[in-house]
Amino acid sequence: MDYNRLDTDNTAAEVYDSALYDSYLSPLEAFYQREQKQADEIAFVQPYPTGRVEEITWAQAGEQVRSMAAYLSTLKLAPGSRVAILSNNCAHWIMADLAIWMAGFVGVPLYPVLTAASIQPILEHSECQAIFIGKLADWPAMEAGVPETLHRISLAICPPEVKNAKPWQDVMTEMPALTQSPVMPMEALATIIYTSGTTGMPKGVMHSFRNLAAVGELTGRMYESGSQDRMLSYLPLAHCAERAAVQTNQLYRGFRVYFANSLETFGEDLQRARPTLFFAVPRIWLKLQQRVLEKIPAKKLDLLLRLPLISRFIRKKLTGALGMDQLNIAISGAAPLSTHLIDWYGRLGITILEGYAMSENFAYSHASKQGEGRIGYVGSTNPHVVCKIADSGEILVKSPTNMTGYYKEPELSAEAIDPDGFLHTGDKGEIDSEGRLKITGRIKDIFKTSKGKYVAPAPIEDKFMKSVAIEQVCVAGSDLPQPLALVTLTESAQNSRLVELSKEELNQEMASLLTEVNATLDKHERMTALVILTDTWSVENNMMTPTLKIKRAEVESAYQASFDQWSVAGGVVWA
């Protein structure tokens, strides 16, 4: 198979007539249009560690992209060669990706939290010939995974320890900008996205320029975004959700993108951007809620929001403090959002629209629409998407953006996309009478107790998240008589500030929560214990993916030896 030119006819059947694609600009054509029509408008707002904030216009971005594309062309790599990007989000990440395309190559983004042991197999599998290295927290721990044979280019923000790399600024001063405006064929391979994955070696998801064009055109129309809008980019651009929401949509809608400087400055970055469009994963929505509740305890806030004359003032003050007072569209994706969080934000006047998609369809599948949402459901299909539920309960999706396959994995590709063009998502779900989809669990997450009964953990976990003291929850119980709920507390709850309770009172509240949740479950699903752990599950300790989803296998493995003991103890267990 020619991996530089994709054949969609034999893999993912198109949902609508391919003639519709002919009216779409390719991603590079969309960029050239921005260069011309919005030349003097700001495209990127980039903060630097020094405190300086740089505004980059579309014309300036074009000049930098063209110079970098000219430099990449001097490397004499074969057309379609793979070029990696290893960096946290920044304006130069996006410009590097555009330069890769303009030079006729394929982008391979890498998560900026990967270890050397994870980076090396991806670079080898994708056969990368060059790599951009940028904003990173711990380059020395990664460097061993980057072969010395790769051409290295350092982005404008880059660790000083990076050696033997061509600096971005040197390229800008030395290389004349490319004068041509090359366009890659729509069916050509644009990017290989290695899934963050909760287990095993990540798979390389292949997407064509055609897929990216469909995402940019169709998503922009759905949300009616435009050049007047603003977004903050902070979730990994190595993940398709951020690339779809920010990078691709910006090309087709022309809005301004701000970048976060660091996790420590996230509040300031939000205030600077005051986004009109905001995309977050559930973990971020939870963290923002905690920021509010650290200022106003949950019970007091609940009371204030019930007072007609005061509630409007409180909402305005709180959304302003979060930097969300100008928000028009708020979206959550990548993992199920707690129904209680959706309700909580709704009371602040922020309607969170849930989305559901995968790397395999470039984040274009389902989304809630304004005024049509239903709590607990991720919305109906996006335009030109078809969804059905298999007899097994699995969600099957046919999207115009379905991947062409997994890189070098034809057998896995055939398993993922059936002959009718439906992507087998691996998720279980149900569809209501209005066509809205509810995710009821991940097929691989469903486990069987020692009594031979099957348990789907996701819906149960959602019930526990009603407590503002709980930060993370994992329901486990494979081969146990009954399941267990493993939870971690928020930092504030651990210090007893958030809920204004002593440890004994918090223990009583958790016991009441366990009883309340169990009362809603079938007998075989009921928890014998709610185990409160002092650990925090994070990307750094390998308990979460780079997109902040819990790695169930890792969590269960870490505590497996204590499961029997906790089951016997029962009730609320402090581990």
Residues 6+ apart with CB under 8 A from 522: none
Among 115-129, 400-414, 475-489, name the one with the lowest average pLDDT.
Answer: 475-489
Residue with tokens 């335009």: 383
Tell me what the mean pLDDT of segment 130-153 comes to. 95
Q: How far is CA 436 from CA 356, 369, 396, 424, in A?
A: 11, 10, 14, 18
Is it the case that residue 261 has pLDDT exceeding 70?
A: yes
DSSP letter assigned to residue 104: T
> pLDDT at position 543, please?
87
Least confident of 7-11, 112-116, 301-305, 352-356: 7-11
Q: What is the maximum span of the chain, computed from C-alpha positions, in angstroms?
A: 72
Is it the case that residue 15 has pLDDT exceeding 80?
A: no
pLDDT band at 459, cuts 50/70/90? confident
| Per-residue pLDDT tens over the stretch 54-102 | 999 999 999 999 999 999 999 999 999 999 999 999 999 999 999 999 9
Give residue 552's pLDDT: 85
Partners of residue 44 on adjacent β-strands: 56, 257
CB atoms within 10 A of CB 55: 13
- Residue 366's pLDDT is 92
Residue 1 has a pLDDT of 40
pLDDT at 499: 46
Instruction: Give the model's pLDDT for residue 142.
Output: 94
Q: Do the beta carbons of residue 22 and residue 235 sit within 8 Å?
A: no
pLDDT of residue 402 exceeding 50, the answer is: yes
Average pLDDT (94-112) is 97
Q: How far apart are the first and last CA of the chain?
A: 53
What is d(CA 452, CA 348) in angstroms, rounded to the nearest whole number? 44
Flag whether pLDDT at 8 surpasses 50. Answer: no
How large is the average pLDDT for residues 105-111?
97
If one compares 409 and 445, the residue with the highest pLDDT of the two is 409
The per-residue pLDDT for range 16-36, each reduced to its tens digit, is 455 566 688 999 999 999 999
Residue 439 main-chain phi, psi, to 5 deg: -85, 120
Q: What is the pLDDT of residues 463-502, one digit of tens each?
A: 888 888 888 899 998 888 899 999 998 877 776 544 456 7
State mean pLDDT over 314-330: 90
Q: What is the mean pLDDT of residues 223-233?
A: 93
For the chain, which domains are there?
Answer: 28-211 (3.40.50.980), 446-574 (3.30.300.30)
- Which two structure tokens, joined as six digits, stand for 425? 């998502």
Which pLDDT value is given to residue 501?
60
For residues 36 and 290, give the distance between their C-alpha atoms in angstroms, rounded to a whole number.
44
Residue 284 has pLDDT above 90, yes or no: no
Query: What pLDDT shows up at residue 196?
Result: 65
Percent of the chain with pLDDT over 70: 94
Q: What is the pLDDT at residue 197?
A: 52
Q: How far is CA 181 from CA 67, 97, 278, in A?
A: 12, 15, 32
Average pLDDT, the chain: 88
Tell me: pLDDT of 44 over 90.
yes
Q: Average of pLDDT values for 511-521?
A: 91
Determine the Cα–Cα distance for residues 428 and 465; give it in Å rounded to an integer.
Answer: 21
pLDDT surpassing 60 at residue 4: no
Average pLDDT (362-380) is: 84
